[in-house]
Amino acid sequence: MIRPVLALLQFTTVLPLGRPVDFDEFADHSYLYPLSGYVTGGLAGLAAAAVPDPAIGAAVGLGAVLLVTGAHHLDGLLDLGDGLMAHGGRGVRVRALLDRQVGAGGFAIGTTVLLSAFAGLSSVPSLLWALVAAEVLGRFGMALLTAVGQPFREGIHGYLYGRAKRWFWIPAALLCTPLVLLPLPLPALAGAAGVALLVPLGVLALGQRLFGGLNGDLVGASHEVCRAAVLCTLSLLA
């Protein structure tokens, strides 16, 4: 399983991991998505925990997670915001979603989600473990959408969806179970797990209604929204 994990990390991070591995190695094992969260959340969490002030540490942690992931999924969130704010039918919304320009809708949703993530992270008991949990659970949502989210166009999501099995969300969920070993209150972690299920299902319903399915932007946006929602949940329940 080393090659699929390496391909996963090369796809989801900008870490220097040597010669590129065949992407199919990951495409056939997309249930491994949560493993990436342990890496990105761990690295960003260590950076955040090194700062004594919680607010500044939260800003550093969020900046680190965006840096190590190349802000790839943030781009999808901004595109989703433009698609949501577009006036007109499905065709108009899809064109706005796929347009590389960032409009007011993208700026608004991006700012709201990042501020929510900062607010939640700055008030959790442990920046390190909260970021690990948020990244892992956010990646679970990506695995779930990859398995069940029918695409509305060809692209990276369509390719992954075609290679995935509908049951891939089950091993993806199992890869999240080590989170119970973290020093986080179990009620808060249980609430975060519930949020991590509701967010991708909400994105799935939204995508089907407004765009006729999913694409990579919507899957990436799900991760960004889920991270913020998990951090806020951990803050409120812990």
Token pair, residue 3, equals 């090659």
d(CA 139, CA 226) in angstroms, rounded, equals: 9
User: By percentage, how much of the chain surpasses pLDDT 70?
Assistant: 100
Q: What is the mean pLDDT of residues 136-163?
A: 95
3-state SS class at 151:
strand
pLDDT of 1 strictly over 80: no
Amino acid at position 24, single letter: D
User: Residue 114 burial (CB < 10 Å; 0-12/13-18/19+)?
Assistant: middle
Band (pLDDT 50/70/90 cuts) for residue 94 is: confident
Given a cut of 80, whether residue 217 has pLDDT beyond it is yes
Q: Which two tokens stand for residue 29?
A: 């094992």
Q: How large is the average pLDDT for residues 25-52?
A: 96
Token output for 235: 């803050």
Considering the chain, what percentage of its residues have pLDDT values greater than 90? 81
Please give the DSSP secondary-structure letter assigned to residue 182. Answer: S
Confidence of residue 88 (pLDDT cuts 50, 70, 90): confident
pLDDT digits (tens, 9 = 90+) for 161-203: 999 999 999 999 999 999 999 999 999 999 999 999 999 999 9
CA angle 159, 101, 116 (to 5 degrees): 85
Give tens-digit pLDDT for 11-30: 999 999 988 999 999 999 99
Strand partners, 151: 214
Q: Which two tokens stand for residue 111?
A: 């700012």
**Inter-CA distances, 54 with 8, 44, 59, 124, 156, Å:** 31, 14, 9, 9, 37
Q: Which one, of 61, 187, 77, 80, lies nearest residue 119 by Cα? A: 61
Contact yes or no for 215/152 (Cβ under 8 A): yes
For residues 159 and 221, is the Cβ–Cβ distance under 8 A? no
